[in-house]
Structure 1
Amino acid sequence: MLASEAGAAKNTLAAYRNDLEAAARDLSAPLGEASGEALVALAPKWRSLANSTVGRRTAALRRFFDFLQDEGIRSDNPAAALVRPRSERPLPRILDADEVERMFVVAADRAASGAPAALRNLALLELLYGSGLRATELVSLPRRAVRPGQPFLILAGKGGRERMVPVSSRASEAVARWSETLPDEARQLFPSRSGHLSRVRLFQIVRAIAAEAGIAPERVSPHVLRHAFATHLLAGGADLRALQTLLGHADIATTQIYTHVDSERLVRLVNERHPLARAPR
């Protein structure tokens, strides 16, 4: 149902499957036959898990039992007994502009050798930070996605929603240099033996560049660079609605998290612009 009717992406389907299988392992009876009492009894077993994980599993169970009830497979809905966990959206990890610049210096130095892997890594970094792409969006780009002279690309993001994202001249140049090394039959911009570069490999590449730049690898991931893209744009005066469009967020509440991250700019704004800041003491 999620695949054919809701149009859920492959990663979403995998997440639902993992959460339902995890719940099934913690139950003594088959998941589809579980009672409300059995579902409530999951809470002590999940006490050590993060609130976000419990919330995700609870949502998966609710969706699953809603489906069983809608299809007439069950007349009741035991998921009604589940308590929604209190969730707090964590602040995203970010890098400051100097740290990002150090990563670019390392990547550019390596790319100067002309080695194909180094050219690829620089192109990946330019698109991650310069366009704010998600990891899956980036590694699955078709070969002709970035075209010379076209300052944007259109892609289908999370949930299949299309959006237009900017491509800087630096990113376009890096992609062009990398594309020259690709074989004629390559269909992906970042190909691999199994199709395209995996998200795991992208994660490894980004962390390796960070380590060379003197940044603790555990602080860096492709998504951290996406957060840096958003935070640094907001600090530069970008409009929140424009940022929502660029990031492909369905709900602006998701984008608003970056207003909490950029606290230094907000404090400075109050100190400089508030009427009392200019009033004599």
Structure 2
Amino acid sequence: MSSDAPLIDRFLEIMAAERGASRNTLLAYRTDLLGASEAIGGLEHADSTRLETLASLWSPLSGSTVARKASALRGFYAFLQEEGFRDDNPSAALPRPALQRPLPKILSTADVDLIFGVIAERLAVAHPSPQDWRLSAMIELLYGSGLRATELVSLPRRSLASDRPFLILRGKGGRERMVPISDRARAAVAAWSALVPEDSPWLFPSGKSHLSRIRLYQMVKDLAAAAGIRPDRVSPHVLRHAFATHLLEGGADLRALQTMLGHADIGTTQIYTHVESARLVALVNSRHPLVDLKPRSS
């Protein structure tokens, strides 16, 4: 068996927990990663030159298959770098076949109302649990500010000031951005902060560190189930997508949205215009008066 196998299995465990990846996806990724490991003599320490050889090996395959294999490796190298197994990420050397980008999963405003309804019920009791105050603060920040999961769980305890309606984040690539914080979110964070130990450096502490991304994903999915929404439809990243989509529907400027999301390229942000376009097309197809008219016979 490949020496990469233990790392690959750990990566797939995280994919299952954080992204809710299906069994078929996990099996396909495992096959792709082990196959690539065997083809180039190991992945953990491979450099970009060795990764470039995969393009010729994959040349007989369809574009969608190459895209999947490359996606598996990019995710794997991002995992290695994030977990400290590598200092660099050589995955830029992998091929990028031209494919239409899939639309992100989104939630309707009605779905979001159901989620916040569950939180409101839990906080309406005589003595709400600290876990529910924490959950309230996290969901308000995820949906109200579009934070990434890692950005949320690693927030310093004093990153939000009661008199300042924004925070400064350092996101992907070390890029700093200003994130507006709603009055609702600030109130929720203030209520939770009162329960956080004074000596904690983290807003969401857990043991000797902060809450893990995996635990956050589990909590969000449990909340979705309690709201009557299929857990596979909801994740921290889906709440980030909902934040962006609902802002755009409300008339937000695309450049402002790019800044709030921390996208280096506005092309990444433009995916949300396609989501809105798809919604409008569906609206026309279902609600336009011509829908009920029969087509003329030739």
Once the two structures are superposed, residues 228-248 of structure 1 have per-residue CA deviations (whole angstroms, 9 ceiling, x without a partner) of 000000000001011000100
Question: 5 Å matches for 1:19-34?
Answer: 22=34, 25-27=37-39, 29=41
Offset, 1:111: 2.6
Alignment partner, residue 222 of structure 2: 208
SS at match of 2:273: helix
Alignment partner, residue 137 of structure 2: 123
> 2:203 matched to 1:192?
no
Alignment partner, residue 100 of structure 2: 88
Q: In structure 2, which of residues 54, 67, 87 is the aligned counterpart of residue 51 of structure 1?
A: 67
Alignment partner, residue 41 of structure 1: 57
Offset, 1:85: 2.4
Would you say the 8 A contact 1:54–1:85 is kept in 2?
no
- Separation in 1, partners of 2:265, 2:130: 39
How many positions carry a matched residue from both structures? 238
Alignment partner, residue 69 of structure 1: none
CA separation of 1:196 and 1:44: change in aligned 2, threshold 3 A? farther
CA separation of 1:29 and 1:147: change in aligned 2, threshold 3 A? closer
Question: 5 Å matches for 1:1-281?
Answer: 22=34, 25-27=37-39, 29=41, 40-42=56-58, 51-54=67-70, 57=73, 84-112=96-124, 113-263=127-277, 266=280
- Separation in 2, partners of 1:182, 1:35: 46
SS at match of 2:39: coil
Unaligned runs of 5+ in 2: 1-10, 16-29, 78-91, 286-298
- Separation in 2, partners of 1:198, 1:155: 18
CA separation of 1:46 and 1:243: change in aligned 2, threshold 3 A? same
CA separation of 1:59 and 1:44: change in aligned 2, threshold 3 A? farther
Offset, 1:114: 2.4
Would you say the 8 A contact 1:139–1:197 is kept in 2?
yes
Once the two structures are superposed, residues 209-234 of structure 1 have per-residue CA deviations (whole angstroms, 9 ceiling, x without a partner) of 11011000000000000000000000
Task: Name the aligned partner's letter for residue 100 of structure 1.
Answer: V
Offset, 1:108: 2.0
Once the two structures are superposed, residues 90-148 of structure 1 have per-residue CA deviations (whole angstroms, 9 ceiling, x without a partner) of 10000000100110110122133421000000000000000000000000000001111
List structure 1 runs of 4+ shifted beyond 6 angstroms. Answer: 35-38, 44-48, 58-61, 268-271
Identity of aligned residues (%): 55
- Separation in 2, partners of 1:54, 1:185: 44
Would you say the 8 A contact 1:52–1:87 is kept in 2?
no
Greater displacement, 109-118 / 42-51: 42-51
Task: Name the aligned partner's letter for residue 241 of structure 1.
Answer: R
Task: Name the aligned partner's letter for residue 102 of structure 1.
Answer: L
Could you state the TM-score of these two structures normalised by the residue count of structure 2? 0.69
CA separation of 1:34 and 1:129: change in aligned 2, threshold 3 A? closer
CA separation of 1:124 and 1:83: change in aligned 2, threshold 3 A? closer
CA separation of 1:24 and 1:170: change in aligned 2, threshold 3 A? same
CA separation of 1:213 and 1:55: change in aligned 2, threshold 3 A? closer
CA separation of 1:84 and 1:133: change in aligned 2, threshold 3 A? closer
CA separation of 1:203 and 1:37: change in aligned 2, threshold 3 A? closer
Task: Name the aligned partner's letter for residue 186 of structure 2.
Answer: S
Alignment partner, residue 25 of structure 2: none
Once the two structures are superposed, residues 147-170 of structure 1 have per-residue CA deviations (whole angstroms, 9 ceiling, x without a partner) of 112110001011110000011111
SS at match of 1:144: coil
SS at match of 1:155: strand
